[in-house]
Structures are given as structure tokens and as C-alpha cells.
Amino acid sequence: MDIEDARGEDPLGPLDPNFAARFTRDIRRPPCQLYLVSPLDVTGGFADRLKRALDAGPVAAFQFRVKDVDQHVAAALADPLQRICADADVAFIVNDSIALAKRLGADGVHLGQEDGDPREARSELGTTAQIGVSCHDSRHLAMEAGEAGADYVTFGAFYPTTTKVTDHVADPVLLSWWTTVFEIPCVAIGGITPANAAPLVAAGADFVAVSSAVWGGDEAAAVQAFAAVLAG
């Protein structure tokens, strides 16, 4: 059942726009970090590109996101990328599939609203797995995810993106509200570049998740550019 109303709005209603103006990031919260999301095509020389990106600057996590391929094929594609992440001490997160994450012994799984329950993921993957949930622009979905045991929630899209169809547009004030009220980290996603990331960091994002901004050009230069923004 869709917990949002027919217009796709959060049932909790709009946030006070002045909330962001009053927001101050808790100094006990770690600085915002970079979360890389793979392109859909990770064949060819992508493994070399990933290694180059991880060598260029600090990256907290890498999400393996491929679509419409057999699990055996996905596992074969993931194997070299997972080893690169392990060598770089970067969390390897599988998109959508609890079964694939379990098969790979991945560090975690990221679930869309139709991809399973965090409780199921916890049962299958264990207590140390990092479980993330896409919550679009909804405080209600995020609160439900937190209650179900998610380790982080993702909000977005914040900017226009070509990576996937955008059905939800989030306002940065959502990040400010979340980080004020909850300890669970929040991830900002959707069209984020080094040029537009700063307002999301200032609003309270714990991570910025990026894909085309890195893989659409020189991945090392992009990671370095993000590092400079996240360092303030």
C-alpha cells in the first residue's frame, strides 16, 4: 500500500521552510562523506576506473548497481570490484538484491521501496551488514525504515538527474530535519556534482551519493573535486 497520498506528498505534511535557517550541524556528527554508485555498465575497463577513483581521494562506500542481468553474471561482474573495495577499505554495497548481497558476502544492501524489508535483510545478512533504504522525499518512509532497522536512509533526488527516472524531488530542509531529530545517517542523492554539493552538506547530509558526476568524465579528478567540497 502506498503510504503517500495521491499527489505523492509526505503524509506528515510540509516542513517549516524556516527550519533550515535555524539548522546547525551537531559537531559530534562525522563530516559528510562520499558514496559512489556504479554505472549500469561495469564491464570492460570499469574495474580499473574504480581503482583509480578510490585511489584519488576518500570514499566511504561503493554501491554495485546493475540491472536486468542473471545473478550468476552479476556475481561475476561484482567479484573484481568487491576485491578492489576491500583493498581500499571501502564498503561494498549491493543495490536491490538481498540474495546477491548474501551470495557475495557484501558489506550491505541498499533497498528501494519495492526491494524487500530491512528486517528480512537483517535476518539474511546478519547484524554487521549495512542496510540502506531509499525514502525519496518522505519523512514517513524514512521513519518507517529507521524503525525497521535500517542503518541509513536516502533522500532525493535533489537535482535533475539522468541516472534514473525522477519521480520525487526533495528539498534540502529534509536533511536538516532528519539530522536534527535522528542519529541514523542520511544520504543525499540525485544529480549531485562538485558544483552543487555544498548546500546539501551544509543542510546536514551525512553522505552524498554520486554516479554520473564521477563516471561521466575523469573519475579521479571528480573524486578529488568532491573531496575538496566535503572538506569545506
Sheet strands (E) in 52-129 = 61-64, 91-95, 108-111
**Is there a contact between 124 and 179 (Cβ–Cβ < 8 Å)?**
no
- Given 38, 134, 138, 211, the catalytic residue: 134
d(CA 117, CA 187): 19
- Given 52, 102, 164, 212, the catalytic residue: 164
Query: Is 119 marked active-site?
Result: no
549500469: which residue's cell?
Answer: 40
Residue 138, CA distances (Å) to 16, 145, 173, 211 in order: 14, 11, 12, 22
First to last CA, the chain: 42
Query: Is 67 marked active-site?
Result: no
Let me know if 198 is exposed, middle or buried by CB neighbors in 10 A (0-12, 13-18, 19+): middle
- Secondary structure of residue 206 in the 3-state scheme: coil
Query: Is 164 marked active-site?
Result: yes
- Given 65, 97, 176, 211, the catalytic residue: 65
Residue 42 CB neighbours (<10 A): 20
Dihedral sign computed on CA atoms, order 73, 76, 81, 83: positive
Write out the catalytic residue numbers. 65, 134, 164
